[in-house]
Amino acid sequence: MPPFLQTVPDRADLLIRIAGEGGQGIMTVGEILSRAVARSGLHVLADSTFASDIKGGDALFQLRVSPHPILSQGDRVDILVALNENGYRSNETGLAPGCMVIYDDGMALKESGEAIFYPVPMGRISGELGSPVSKNMIALGVLARLLSISADPLRQVIGQSLAAKGASVVQMNVKAFDEGLAYGQDHVVKRDPHLLPVGAGENNQLLLSGNEAIGLGAMMAGCRVYPYCPITPATTIGDWLSDHLPGAGGQVIMTDDAIESAALAIGASYAGAKAMTGTSGPGLDVMQELIGFAGMAELPVVIVDVQRGGPSQGLATKHEQSDLFSAALGGHGDSPRIVVAAADVNDCVGLTIEAFNLAERYQVPVIVLSDASLSRRRQTIPRPDLAHVRRVGRTPHEPSESSYLRYRLTADGISPMSVPGQPGGEYIATGVEHTESGSPTDLPRDHETMTKKRYKKLSAVEEGLPPVEREGAARAEIGFISWGTTQGAVREAMQRFRQIGLPAAALYPKLLWPLPVKALETFAASVNKVIVVEANKQGQLAMLIRAQTKIRPGLIHLYTGVPISPWEIFGREDF
């Protein structure tokens, strides 16, 4: 048995996996189960992976359920529903002792280990129903029986989730579910200890994906224009906004390449609209020239980079955190930009709003980093309270007697900005080095002065944001620093460190560029050893920290295309 399976800190939560192949309705049944469970007031974190093929290939839906907020995707399987042989084999090693395995008895599966097996004649039942694709619902019925999940709410969600496919499809699926439930009642004797946790009474939750949350955050911030070029795994931000932004007075336009998306967003911003585009690593690469232009011409714009694995075409559907250099340091010349990274679905809402505020306040491009696993992950979050959304606008140019200087030197580097249509505010936003009026210049002092002006704006960013969250003992042996979704795995590892009495601390920065140097230095001074945890080869955050602070961090870094798990931090013995 892998050692981490012996460390089960919290039996209140359940990790359910449904595995099979594309086309078996894995995502559909996972989604239905997620919704039903979330409706009962539990926290839910659902994650899915699938091969790039449209249909076929391995498919996996994972659902973590808990009465407490869920920090990461977890690392031990309590319940496995296998709809084909590979679905069992590829998950066999991660099963917790006493794991419940529900499988189609048509599979040649050799029952072994400490799992508790429930073979179900899914092939026979689905055959009798005349619907070979209904195995997923039969399995759901058996699962509902074994976990004592109320059937009526599940039937209701099946109806709502499949309503668009027509009444006969709904009917067939409910029937298959009922058949599974009946089979469970009549033929299955429960031998495992698992039950659905009691709901935490979270009745004001939303259940949404990371990409939907970015779209929602953008709308809450007042985004008015979202141009996008489809690219995995960022596409669904645009799809979601296409459904919602036009009805709220904004525009979504699909472009034919990523450069065009950035150009449209920047043009819209010049004209006074809050604008955002979304892309993934390859798109961010080709946008660099325009991001540099926005920095030089001091135009606010938000760019979401949903990171995927590897360079070039890489691993388009997999997780990795390897665009930090590209986001913070990409592009030629000294051009200011701000980079923030979301750690979970709630962050996707809040940090997207913050990104707009930063862009407008400092008149710079702001890059929001997300990643492939976060983009797909569906998680319950507290429903945002719109009355408390803070929206920051740009410093407006007020009409005055003197002639307007768009790039006027000010104490904080922020120059008032006019909007086309405003008489007397005419100016040229240029990417060539310019004077306060926007006229071209190549004089040594001008370039130095204006570069300093543009960077002066960044010097206030760290202090203008809420303090960086720190967790753990005030003085600790080990101090972890992580970013993005890896923060969730560190948080969960911290819970386990607490349980075994290891004095650890962790810092969870959201702002990555400019690097929050003060917070990092203060944190490092409170621990004996700093370890950066991140999902890339080069140790990108660790390298930036080395370059900009006196901290010499150690590094835990994995780059397998799969998010780092709590065990991969907690289980390390080399610190």
Partner 1 sequence: MIINEPAAYRTERPVTWCPGCGDVRVLEALCHALTRSGVDPAGTVLVTGSGCSSMIGFFVNSYAIHGPYGRALPIALGVKLANPSLTVIVAGGDGDAYAAGAGHLIHLARKNPDLTYLIMDNGCYGLTKGQPSPTAGNGAAGATAVDHEALNPVALLIATGATFVAQGSSDDSELLTRLMQEALHHRGFSAINIISPCAVLGRQPSTRPPDAPESVRIDPATHPSHDRMAALQLATVRDGRTRVGVFYREERNTLHSGLDVTLKRDGYDDLISLERIMNGMKP
Nearer to partner 1, 138 or 364 (CB): 364
Cβ-based nearer residue to partner 1, 297 or 468: 297
CB of 238 to partner 1, least distance (A): 15
- Could you say whether residue 249 binds partner 1 (CB under 8 A)? yes
Residue whose CB is less far from partner 1, 151 or 543: 151
Assigned token pair, 160: 């709502």
According to the binding rule CB under 8 A, does residue 510 interact with partner 1? no
CB nearer to partner 1: give 240 or 483: 240
The residue within the footprint of partner 1, chosen from 87, 233, 250, 488 (CB under 8 A), is 250
User: Binders of partner 1 among 358-387, rule CB under 8 A?
Assistant: 380, 383-384, 386
Residues 408-437 that bind partner 1 (CB under 8 A): 420-432
Identified binder of partner 1 from the candidate list 6, 93, 150, 439, rule CB under 8 A? 439
Stretch that binds partner 1, among 1-9, 214-222, 485-493, 508-516 (CB under 8 A): 214-222
Q: Among residues 163, 167, 198, 248, which is the contact residue for partner 1, using CB under 8 A?
A: 248
Our CB check for partner 1 shows the closer of 112 and 402 to be 402
In the complex with partner 1, the residue whose CB is nearer, 1 or 428, is 428
551 CB-side CA count, 13 A: 31
- Rounded to whole angstroms, how far apart are CA atoms 411 and 60? 55
104-143 residues in contact with partner 1 (CB under 8 A) are none
Contact flag: residue 231 with partner 1 (CB under 8 A): no
Contacts of 474 (CB under 8 A, 6+ apart): 505, 526
Distance between CA atoms of residues 13 and 9, nearest Å: 10
Q: Which of 64, 135, 274, 557 binds partner 1 (CB under 8 A)?
A: 274
Restricting to residues 189-208, which ones interact with partner 1 according to CB under 8 A? Answer: 205-208
Nearest-angstrom CA–CA distance, 268 and 230: 20
The answer to whether 439 touches 396, Cβ cutoff 8 Å, is no
End-to-end alpha carbon distance in the chain = 23
Asked if residue 297 binds partner 1 (CB under 8 A), the reply is: yes
Q: Which of 144, 290, 490, 531 binds partner 1 (CB under 8 A)?
A: 290
Mapped onto helix, strand or coil, the DSSP state of residue 102 is: strand
For residue 381, the number of C-alpha atoms closer than 13 Å in the C-beta half-sphere is: 21
Could you say whether residue 150 binds partner 1 (CB under 8 A)? no
Using an 8 Å Cβ cutoff, are 297 and 365 in contact?
Answer: no
| Closest to partner 1 by CB, 133 or 259 | 259
Which residues face 81 on adjacent strands? 18, 102
CA 171/CA 153 separation, integer angstroms: 15
Return the SS3 of 69: coil
Cα 195 to chain centroid distance, Å, stands at 29
To partner 1, the closest distance from the beta carbon of 270 in angstroms equals: 6
Number of residues that bind partner 1 (CB under 8 A): 72
Site for partner 1 in 38-97 (CB under 8 A): 38-39, 44
> Where do we find the tokens 């008015």?
224
> H helices of 2-77, where?
26-39
Report whether 504 contacts 479 (CB < 8 A).
yes
For 164, the 3-state DSSP assignment is: helix
Q: Angle formed by the axes of helices 167-187 and 151-161, to 10°? A: 150
**Does residue 275 interact with partner 1 by CB under 8 A?**
yes
Which C-beta is closer to partner 1: that of 248 or that of 443?
248
From 1, 6, 8, 5, select the one nearest 495 (Cα to Cα): 8
Which residue's CB is nearer to partner 1, number 220 or number 409? 220
Among 113, 199, 267, 554, binds partner 1 (CB under 8 A): 267
Shortest distance (Å) from residue 127 CB to partner 1: 33
- Binding of residue 257 to partner 1 (CB under 8 A): yes
